[in-house]
Structure 1
């Protein structure tokens, strides 16, 4: 069943909000990684075991990669919905 323009517009707005949230989450993820890397360096400088702290950095990076992949999917959906809501005019020959 085809969606109405109003339903497509509603979906578009929802996806745009998700895209903003994804951007914010990714930026915060990078901040967490930098903070954790700083902690690892501090632990190393203090002669402490850093194995678990380094594992956390790796896990945070893997998570962030997945968030970035998900963001791409959201962005693709936004592009698709924009085209559905406001299709380009037909080309004249």
Structure 2
């Protein structure tokens, strides 16, 4: 069953919205990491055990890596759908 141009256009719109959300989530993820790194430094400066806080930084970074991979997949899907919806006209010559 073929997918209509209208359906592809809606899919493209949906994927672009997902890409915007992914970009926002990634930026917020970096902010969380920076705040947590600040907390680690505060703990260390105060002579406190910072191992759990450091572990959280690593987990946040791993999560962010997965979000960035997912963003790449969204970009690939957007590119594919753009070709389906907005094909480049062929030139004759």
- Taking only aligned residues, the RMSD between alpha carbons, in angstroms, comes to 0.6
- C-alpha displacement of 1:91: 3.1
Tell me which stretches of 4 or more aligned residues in structure 1 moved more than 3 Å.
none
TM score, norm. by length of structure 2: 0.98
1:46 maps to: 46
Deviations 1:56-85 (A, max 9, x none): 000000000000000000011001001100
Structure 2 unaligned regions, length at least 5: none
TM score, norm. by length of structure 1: 0.98
SS in 2 for 1:24: helix
Structure 1 unaligned regions, length at least 5: none
